[in-house]
Amino acid sequence: MPITSDDDIRALFDAETIAVVGCSATAGKPAHDIPAYMQRHGYRVVPVNPFHDEILGETAYDSLADVDEDVDLVDVFRPSEEAGDIVDAAIERAADRGDVEAVWLQLGIRDDDAAARAEEAGLSFVQDKCFKVEHSRLA
């Protein structure tokens, strides 16, 4: 079951480095403004977007596998149809590097099968919730 309790969601805000898959360079888009909010609240944001070299003043990586620093949480701004592959990449990274602890699918993004795989791999999992809304409400 994906995380739904306030206490369990609040615990995810202890993350320090967040890889944002689908991070946008376009101000005004949620995939840009929410990572900018994360930065303003002290999180290290690592953008993952193969179409940009830099977003929000940070080096952008082509894929989660290309990120060369440790990542605590993977935040996903891609369509539900793409979420499963991204979750699988996070699971693989957690197994190989031991760094990813949680996956967060933003509001409107769901994949129950991926949730089950992530939880089976020992990762915390949130889906269909906005990081900014939940952080503003709980942190």
Domain ranges of the chain: 4-136
Global pTM? 0.96
DSSP annotation of 72: S
Residue where the block lists tokens 């900018």: 36
Give CA–CA dist 137/49, Å, rounded.
28
The whole-number average pLDDT for the span 112-118 is 97
Would you state the pLDDT for residue 4?
85
Confidence band for 1, pLDDT divided at 50, 70 and 90: low
Long-range interactions of 101-104: CB distance < 8 A, separation 24+: 101/15, 101/72, 101/73, 102/12, 102/15, 102/72, 102/73, 102/74, 102/126, 103/73, 103/74, 103/76, 104/12, 104/73, 104/74, 104/75, 104/76, 104/129, 104/131
What is the tens place of the pLDDT at every residue in 2-60?
Answer: 888 999 999 999 999 999 999 999 999 999 999 999 999 999 999 999 999 999 999 99
What is the tens place of the pLDDT at every residue in 53-91?
Answer: 999 999 999 999 999 999 999 999 999 999 999 999 999
Q: Tell me the CATH class for 4-136.
A: alpha beta
SS3 call for 48: strand
What is the tens place of the pLDDT at every residue in 124-137?
Answer: 999 999 999 999 99
Give CA–CA dist 119/109, Å, rounded.
17
Give CA–CA dist 96/94, Å, rounded.
6
